[in-house]
Chains A and B, each alone.
Chain A
């Protein structure tokens, strides 16, 4: 089945540690995105990528980093510089960047900082 796979589903981190969230898609989509979701707020864009080896900052990129070495993969690293990393992280993809059209989401990864 085509879709987006995020792992791990739950992740616990001690303060000062970097963690990497995985996102893999087999939809052959060019564009991929990382969003952060906090209770009572809409999704906020962290990073997006239109093509391999290219990515752009979203609204809240500080403390995060990404890579796009393969079309299928768009991992997100939450660094120790991110002051409030506890959140639900969602990866998404679409056939193109602009206009985006229909967005497909993974099941999410919940990060908790201890």
Chain B
């Protein structure tokens, strides 16, 4: 059964810093990996979807990479802003089964 881990559980950085969030998974036979953003008390918003055949996806200041062989994905956020403060979750899909990590709570201080 796929297990998805996100470390650290919380991260605080000053505004303007570049940062990396980590996601690891135990079963490398995946269809895709998705990164989500969740604001407090809200639903999840999909940020980036990486298919198993892809190595990375980019959207604006966000870049997500995927290394299936090592069971890892990273979400890179460039030039962080206070508006980036939220919880970031990754989800891994394989065999009609999607598993979520518990998320990393990011705080960007002005």
Chain A residues proximal to chain B, CB less than 8 Å: 4, 6, 40-43, 45, 88, 90, 92, 97-108, 110
Contact = CB atoms under 8 A, between A and B. Distances in A.
Given A103-B34, A107-B42, 8 more contacts: A42-B101, A43-B91, A92-B44, A97-B96, A98-B96, A99-B96, A101-B32, A103-B98
Nearest to B44: A105
Nearest to B90: A42
B43 A106 contact: yes
Contacts of B98: 45, 100, 103
A45 B1 CA distance: 14
B65 to A, nearest CB: 18
B41 interface: yes
A99 B32 contact: yes
